[in-house]
Every structure is written in C-alpha cells, then in structure tokens.
Amino acid sequence: MRGLTKRFEDGLHRLGFEIISSEHPVVPLMIRDTQKTTELVNYLFDNGILATGLNYPVVPKGDEEIRCQITADQTDNDIDYVLDVLKRHKDTR
C-alpha cells in the first residue's frame, strides 16, 4: 500500500495540489475552502470516487480538506483514474 500511497501523492504534487505527505494511507488533500471542497467531493462522487470532505465547523476555516483513503484493493490503474478525474476537474477551473 505504501507504493500506491506514494504514487497518489506524487501524482497530486504533479497536478499542483497541496497535500500533507506521510506513509499513512489517508492522504489529506488540502482545499482550504468550504464551497470548493463540497464541489470537488461531489465531482469525485459523480465520477465513481468516494472521498470524505471535511468542512467548517469540523475543521477550522481555512483547513478544509478531502481525505482520500488508499486501500490494498486498489490498483495502479485505480490511482491513475482518480488522478485523471482530479486533473479534469482542475482543468475546468
């Protein structure tokens, strides 16, 4: 799973996303805006990706994030798909 987590984190960095890196399989994708977090969670869901958004008051304003969980059931192709969906979302902004 560490390899998948690193693949995901590296891809997020290449796309210009802010994350909190660690060896843990939960990757916080820092959005820092409640509306943008909600929009991205919905976009991911519409594309078959389950991710948890944390908005104020669960986290302080400015610390809004999406938590992505990497699991042993996922493959390189799964990670690449999520990165592609995130790239498409970013390209439309």
Query: Residue 8 — very low, low, confident or very high, per pLDDT cuts 50/70/90?
Result: very high
Residue 83 in contact with residue 15, Cβ under 8 Å?
Answer: yes
Q: In whole angstroms, what is the distance from residue 70 CA to residue 82 CA?
A: 11
The neighbouring-strand residues paired with 26 are 69
Q: In whole angstroms, what is the distance from residue 71 CA to residue 63 CA?
A: 24
Which domains can be identified in the chain, with CATH numbers?
2-91 (3.90.1150.10)
Structure tokens that stand for 62 in this block = 């400015």
Amino acid symbol at 89: H
Of 34, 22, 16, which is closest to residue 68 (Cα–Cα)?
22
Tell me: pLDDT of 77 over 90: yes
pLDDT of residue 23: 82
pLDDT of residue 93: 79
Q: In whole angstroms, what is the distance from residue 52 CA to residue 28 CA?
A: 10
